[in-house]
Structure 1
C-alpha cells in the first residue's frame, strides 16, 4: 500500500502504534447490478471494496474519485454517500506491523469513463460479483462488514 508523506512522518514518530484515519470505500455497481471488488497487491486476505485514505486538504468525495482513478484507472460519476462506519471490523494490521483504525466514508458510484484495470501497485486483480456471488466470495473482514452495513450483503 502506498503511504502519504504526512502519514510517513507520523509513523516515524509513533512507529506501529494504532492510528485512526479517515478513509473512503467506493461501491461500484454496473448496469447488471454487479459489484466491483479488488485484491490488493501483496494481500492474500480476500476481495475488497476499492478505496483508501483521505489525504490532507482533500474531501472524502475527492478522495473517492482520486482512489478510483489511481487504483483502477476509471473516472466515476458523482459519488453518493451511503454511510460512515468505524469500529473493530475496520481495524487493520499491515504486514510491516502498522496498525490502523479506519473510519470509512462509504460511497456508491458508477463508472463514467474508462474500463477498470488494476494498477499493479496497489491493486493486483479485480472482478465483478453478482449479489449471489458475494454471499460465497472470499471477502476480507473489512469489506464483509462494510457490505453488510450498507445492505449489499445479507447477514
Structure 2
C-alpha cells in the first residue's frame, strides 16, 4: 500500500475507536499530539504493521496514584500503560483492508455495551488493565475514560501514522507492587498533589477525582 493509503486507513481506525469509546464511556477531551519521530523503525507497509492503540492507566487509591519508571522512556515517572496487540488484517478481493475476526472488531456484549477488540480479544480498557498488571503487579478495574488523543508517528518520510491513545481512570482490585516487565525499574504510589517534577500526564493526574 502507498503511505497515504496506510495513513488514511489508520485515521479511519482512530475515528472508529473514538466513536466506540464515546459510546461506552461518554464524551471526553480529545487532542492531536505533535509528531513523534521514530526513524529507527520501518515504515508500516500495511495498516496492520502498527499496533492498534495505546492505553494509559491512572490507578487511584486512597488519594494516591500509581506511577512507574520505565528505562525505555524519557519521562522520570509515568502511569503504567502500553500498546494493544498488533493487528493482522485480511484482504478483500478488491484490495481493501478490513478489521475482522482476529483483527480489530467491535462486538456487542450481552449487556448491549460495545468494546474494541484486538488479537487477544481485549478492549482498549482491558489493555490498560493488563499493562498495569504486567508492569506493576497491581490488579485494577477501569472505571472511567479520562481523555483520548491521536498520536502521530513520523517515520521520516513526512507521512505521520495516527494511532489512538486512551487514558483510563481505574481502581485497585487486588495485587501488590511487584514489577515483572524488564524495562520497569520502579513502581510506587504518590499523593496526587505530590507527584514528582517531570511526571508524564501531570496535569491529568492533578485533575483526578481522588474521592471516587
- TM class by shorter-chain length? 0.5 to 0.7
- Encode CA deviations 1:84-111: one digit per residue, 9 max, x unaligned: 4225xx5678xxxxx9765222111122
2:69 to 33, 39, 50: 39
TM (norm. structure 1) is 0.64
How many residue pairs were aligned?
Answer: 126
Which consecutive unaligned segments of at least 5 residues does structure 2 have? 1-40, 88-117, 155-159
TM (norm. structure 2) is 0.49
1:82 to 142, 145, 148: 145
- Encode CA deviations 1:57-88: one digit per residue, 9 max, x unaligned: 231122122111211122213x123234225x
Quote the offset at 1:133 in angstroms. Answer: 0.9
In 1: Cα distance, 2:161 partner to 2:184 partner: 19
Match of 2:128 in 1: 64
Match of 2:183 in 1: 122
Quote the offset at 1:37 in angstroms. Answer: 0.8
Match of 2:78 in 1: 48
In 1: Cα distance, 2:153 partner to 2:194 partner: 25
Which consecutive unaligned segments of at least 5 residues does structure 1 have? 1-10, 94-98
Query: SS state of the match for residue 149, structure 2?
Result: coil
